[in-house]
Structure 1
Amino acid sequence: MRKTLLALLLAASVTPAFAQDKTFELKLSHWVPASHPLQKALEDWGSAVEKESGGTIKYKVFPAQQLGKAFDHYDMARDGIADVTYVNPGYQPGRFPIIGAGELPFLMSDAKGGSMALDSWYRKYAEKEMKDVKFCLGFIHSPSTFHSRTKKIVVPDDIKGMKIRPAHATMANFVTLLGGTNVQSSAPEVRDIIERGVADAVTFPWGSVLLFGIDKVTKYHIEAPLYVTTFAFVMNKDKYAQMSDRQKKAIDNNCNTEAAGRVGEPWGKYENAGVDKIKALPDHEVYRLTPDQIALWKKASEPLVKTWSDNVKKTGADPDAAMKELRAELTKNNALAQ
């Protein structure tokens, strides 16, 4: 009797049109704290898929590296350790060279528009570059900057001799180009490496400086939009293949450019709000650069474009065409940096 009642209750929770479909519970994995805006973004994503699947696709979010390390999240989706994962392609230098265009300094100006532009542009390249998984969507956080414990960073020459934790492969190349030393770590480890003196500074978005406690170990902050970081949601191909056409449509309706904007926008607002919060902290110096100083940074970053271009050529893609397409998408979405 109890089993019959339970079966009736379960059946009632599924939309009739999906009644014959197998039920799935997706494991959605990320590596930042549950208090990070990405947690809600993944919950909202899962909730939208559940609704559109008539309740046959359920989900659970696993934050804070519960299922695996930050650097492993692409392979975790490939191997089925998780079903949908949050990936920073720049954590694995050389593996995803094309999407690295989004990491180039002074290119993007807005989280929502930049996310939609990146996603729309990258889809055709993802079919090859991320072929081990189902690419769901790409997005960025707000333009970000250097945060230092030891000294003010004003011009590129100031990086010489410093130990920097870079956000991704492109910023790592930049640090090397400027005579600094890279200290690799995932975002959750940044506070510790600066506190122990392993690193002097970090490239990081503003709101996350507070979230990860990096404000406790830094003092100087450049108020300039130097770079962004590209991210992706990717899905296990086998899990997607097991779904019905109706269920696949529920996934696809939330793996598109519009969904990329929905992920990028609130996170962007969260990070932007961190600027004023850090300005209000005692013993912190937030400072702007002069136009001449900005010009020096732009000039110093020019070799990064060539490095990106050379890496893209190795994949068989045309870097000039790819960059032209990306800039056009950024212009269309009002997110091209001036």
Structure 2
Amino acid sequence: MTIKTAAFTLMAGLMASTAMAQEVTLRFQHFVSPQSANPKYFIEPWAEKIEAESGGRIKVEIYPFMQLGGTAPEQFDLIQDGVIDGGWVIPGYQAGRFPETEALELPFMVTKSAEEASRVAWEFTQKYLTDDFENVHLIAAHMHGRGLVHKKGPAVDDLTDFEGLKLRGPSRPATLLLEKLGAMPIGMPVPQFTESLSKGVVDGGVITWEMSPSLKLDELTDSHTDVAGDYSLYNLFFIWAMNKDVYESLPDDLRAVIDANSGLETSAWAGRAHDLGDADGKAVMIAAGNEVAEMSPEMTEVIKAKGDEVIADWIADMDAKGLPGAQMVKDARALVEANKGAQPEG
């Protein structure tokens, strides 16, 4: 073999290897900082795992801050319509479109462990939400960690402290609870929260520990108040999904890589990311000298009673829509109990 022939053979082999390594490129996007908990502890590691287990044949590109276009409330349609290959979705940002997801977002429904709540989310999805998400390929369904009240001024200590407060709410159940508590709820996606706080549009809002640093809540708020006990004041339901046609167009072995990184344990992984982020975020707020408080058990029971009113109203609303509201609440609570203390497989 001549030197020229050998060089040509080597170059052809390298070109074939490169083509094999970049067989599929998937573009996923989300709407928060890449340093937020879910991107940092789940989305980016998930992408790296997909690339490694596909032998480099799948390349996953992650775009934060909706860099591929659209807004956070439009994310589901961007995936469904093939504008992007996949992404992170909060169904509750489109109020009324996915009403069954609200069962897990109701007050004091899930525990403060995002990992436990995310196992519940996946199992509840398999029972009630497969039709809602039939036009996308679902990879994970999960919840974030405990939801707290973050506000300017001192911590919430009594029901009267809510009166007249303009508080950001992320979902319909959360805003309904805030209204019951006497606050003035303002629904908005998370990317708008920082600017709204800085301009005085809101006095605070309900959100997690983990999102606090990226939203500059150490600078823009003074106090962070949780409820007592094991159950979260509120929570939010998410999905990690990809375009159905893109998924189905993959070769069988590459679909198998996606499948191996989907489902119950992947959902739990997404939840675990929020638990890790909550610890990080709380530490930042404490280091800033902000007030970190927990309501008394007595005050928590008062708020829980208001939450029960929200749940009763929600059940009546679902019944009016022809949906089994009471049964969904019953099943959600049963799944929460069944998943307490659940551990990762393997």
Relative to the length of structure 1, the TM-score reads 0.89
- Equivalent residue for 2:262? 255
Query: Are 1:154 and 2:153 counterparts?
Result: no
Query: Are 1:301 and 2:302 counterparts?
Result: no
- Equivalent residue for 2:27? 27
Task: Give 3-state SS (helix, strand or coil) of 1:27's partner.
Answer: strand
Q: CA deviation at 1:326?
A: 2.0
Corresponding letter in the other structure for 2:100:
I
Contact 2:156–2:295, Cα closer than 8 Å, also in 1: no
Task: Give 3-state SS (helix, strand or coil) of 2:212's partner.
Answer: helix
Q: Select which of 11, 14, 17 maps to 1:9.
A: 17
Percent of aligned positions that are identical: 26
Q: Select which of 86, 105, 108 maps to 2:107.
A: 105
Rounded Cα–Cα distance in structure 2 between residues aligned with 1:335 and 1:319: 27
- Equivalent residue for 1:172? 175
Contact 2:87–2:240, Cα closer than 8 Å, also in 1: yes
Task: Give 3-state SS (helix, strand or coil) of 1:85's partner.
Answer: strand
Contact 2:177–2:307, Cα closer than 8 Å, also in 1: yes
Rounded Cα–Cα distance in structure 2 between residues aligned with 1:197 and 1:47: 40
Corresponding letter in the other structure for 1:143:
R
- Equivalent residue for 1:39? 39
Corresponding letter in the other structure for 1:87:
V
Q: CA deviation at 1:152?
A: 3.5
Q: CA deviation at 1:311?
A: 4.0
Rounded Cα–Cα distance in structure 2 between residues aligned with 1:51 and 1:9: 15
Contact 2:36–2:277, Cα closer than 8 Å, also in 1: no
- Equivalent residue for 1:312? 318
- Identify unmatched segments of 5+ residues in structure 2: 1-7
Query: Are 1:220 and 2:223 counterparts?
Result: yes
Rounded Cα–Cα distance in structure 2 between residues aligned with 1:116 and 1:307: 26
- Identify unmatched segments of 5+ residues in structure 1: 15-22
- Equivalent residue for 2:81? 79
Rounded Cα–Cα distance in structure 2 between residues aligned with 1:85 and 1:251: 14
Rounded Cα–Cα distance in structure 2 between residues aligned with 1:311 and 1:272: 36
Q: 5 Å matches for 1:200-215?
A: 200-215=203-218
Q: CA deviation at 1:296?
A: 0.5
Q: CA deviation at 1:177?
A: 2.8
- Equivalent residue for 2:97? 95
Q: 5 Å matches for 1:267-306?
A: 267-282=274-289, 284-306=290-312
RMSD: 2.2
Alpha-carbon distance change, 9 to 306 in structure 1, aligned in 2, over 3 angstroms: same
- Equivalent residue for 2:243? 236
- Equivalent residue for 1:17? none
Alpha-carbon distance change, 281 to 132 in structure 1, aligned in 2, over 3 angstroms: same
Contact 1:146–1:221, Cα closer than 8 Å, also in 2: yes
Moved more, 38-47 or 63-72: 38-47
Rounded Cα–Cα distance in structure 2 between residues aligned with 1:160 and 1:135: 40
Query: Are 1:58 and 2:64 counterparts?
Result: no
Corresponding letter in the other structure for 2:147:
S
Rounded Cα–Cα distance in structure 2 between residues aligned with 1:257 and 1:198: 39
The structure having more radius of gyration, on CA atoms, is 2
Q: Deviations over 1:282-320 (max 9, x none)?
A: 3x2222211211111001111221233234335644223
Contact 2:117–2:142, Cα closer than 8 Å, also in 1: yes
Alpha-carbon distance change, 174 to 7 in structure 1, aligned in 2, over 3 angstroms: same
Alpha-carbon distance change, 124 to 57 in structure 1, aligned in 2, over 3 angstroms: farther
Task: Give 3-state SS (helix, strand or coil) of 1:137's partner.
Answer: strand
